[in-house]
Amino acid sequence: ALKTGIVGLPNIGKSTMFNALCENAKAQAANFPFCTIEPNVGIVAVPDPRLQELSKISGSEKIIPTSVEFVDIAGLVKGASKGEGLGNQFLANIRECDSIVQVVRCFEDGDVIHVAGKVDPLDDTDVINFELALADITQIEKRLERLKKTKGKSGEEAKRNEVEAGALQRIMAALEQNKPARSVALSDEEAELVRGLYLLTAKPMVYAANVAEDDLADPGANRHVAALRSKAEEEGRGVVVVSAQVEAELNELDSEEAAEYLAGLGVEEGGLKSLIRCTYQQLGLLTYFTTGEKETRAWTIHEGYTAPQAAGVIHTDFEKGFIRAETVAYDDFVAAGGFGAAKEKGLLRLEGKEYVVKEGDILMFRFAT
Ligand code: GDP
């Protein structure tokens, strides 16, 4: 499963948010096969209203959404990249993740101690981003040192090393200007060579602004959120507003009480759903569907997957024996009201091996065993 690491300074609501994510997943466990698998790892369903629509049309017995794995990575502090706290261990945990959610404290509460003594999202994100960048710089320096050893030699390997070193030097220059590795444009070859370093700042990252319940209805009025938003915009990153505490409280309530509580706050949700959706989107993933009487199910693929590759996500036999895929776009399927009607209207297409699957496609595979 795709992993997202939850990072941030201590005492800003990471665990509260993580627990809310897991409790919420557990509450839906009757329908969804998701749960907390380790104390700090949880699998969370990606909410997608299209699943309900499709399930209604097909009269499906059950719905199976796609999922994202969240990992609560506590303990990132100032100096972590130099081994402060349990620094290196935490950085290694982040390295294993596909993307990062950086929780940022935007709520004021005199009872909750802030490690730096005051709530300041700009300072806080600087501290975390600096540690991530420093960890990358250390990693790159080590790698460049090793690459130097083949300098002057000829042959394929030496050529590859030269390309890699060139890319790493450009990334280094960016990091020194407070820019993430992600901001450096790389050729396919360079990207492939650099991938093995699992650079932390090369991972997509979104900020989760943890706000007080009173700020949910109009988060922009909170100056901390406003400041974080403009910083994120400069960096080309997204901000999702969440109230971890509201989410924790929602999990204690039945659905009617929850709706009432949210209405009282002037919102429809506490932000957790949009955080999950945003995380999924920033991973550069697409969803396609299979639907029938037995189940309606969402499947996750990478952008650019062909129909046989998409079939392979269900089962390797589907990919090996792929013949063709009956395909209909989500909107067409819903407008027609099912496979049969879509076919009559000429909206159902037969696609072959070269077909590149699109977001929201509904697929039915024909394959030989
Ligand atoms: P972590 O160290 O980042 O994992 O932080 P925790 O989730 O353990 O939260 C630290 C403290 O902040 C706890 O006492 C929480 O109850 C409190 N807290 C978390 N989120 C909020 C919030 O949105 N508002 C308020 N007032 N307190 C919160």
DSSP string, 51-110: HHHHHHHHT-SEEE--EEEEEE-----TTGGGT-TTHHHHHHHHHT-SEEEEEEE----T
CA dist., res. 288 & res. 134, Å (int): 39
Atom of ligand 1 nearest to the CA of 17: 7
Q: How far is the CA of 11 from the centre of ligand 1 (A)?
A: 6
Give every CB contact of residue 241 below 8 A, 6+ residues apart in sequence: 208, 209, 211, 215, 216, 219, 225, 271
**Structure pTM?**
0.86
Amino acid identity, position 171: I
Which homologous superfamily does the CATH classification assign to the domain defined by 304-367?
Beta-grasp domain (3.10.20.30)
Say what the pLDDT of residue 118 is.
84
Interface predicted TM-score of the whole assembly (ipTM), two decimals: 0.93
Question: CA end-to-end span of the chain, whole Å?
Answer: 27
Q: Which fold has domain 3-122+202-282?
A: Rossmann fold (3.40.50)
Q: Does residue 16 have a known ligand-binding role?
A: yes
Atom of ligand 1 nearest to the CA of 109: 26
Q: How far is the CA of 334 from the centre of ligand 1 (A)?
A: 43
Domain ranges of the chain: 3-122+202-282, 131-200, 304-367
Please state, as a whole number, how many other Cβ atoms lie within 10 Å of the Cβ of residue 186.
Answer: 17
Say what the pLDDT of residue 357 is.
97
Q: Does residue 15 have a known ligand-binding role?
A: yes
Say what the pLDDT of residue 27 is.
63
CA dist., res. 14 & res. 24, Å (int): 15
The domains spanning 3-122+202-282 and 131-200 adopt the same CATH topology = no
Q: Which fold has domain 131-200?
A: DNA polymerase; domain 1 (1.10.150)
10-residue mean pLDDT series, the chain (369 residues):
88 90 70 61 88 96 90 76 65 90 91 81 93 93 89 80 95 95 95 94 95 93 95 93 93 91 91 87 89 95 93 93 96 95 95 96 92
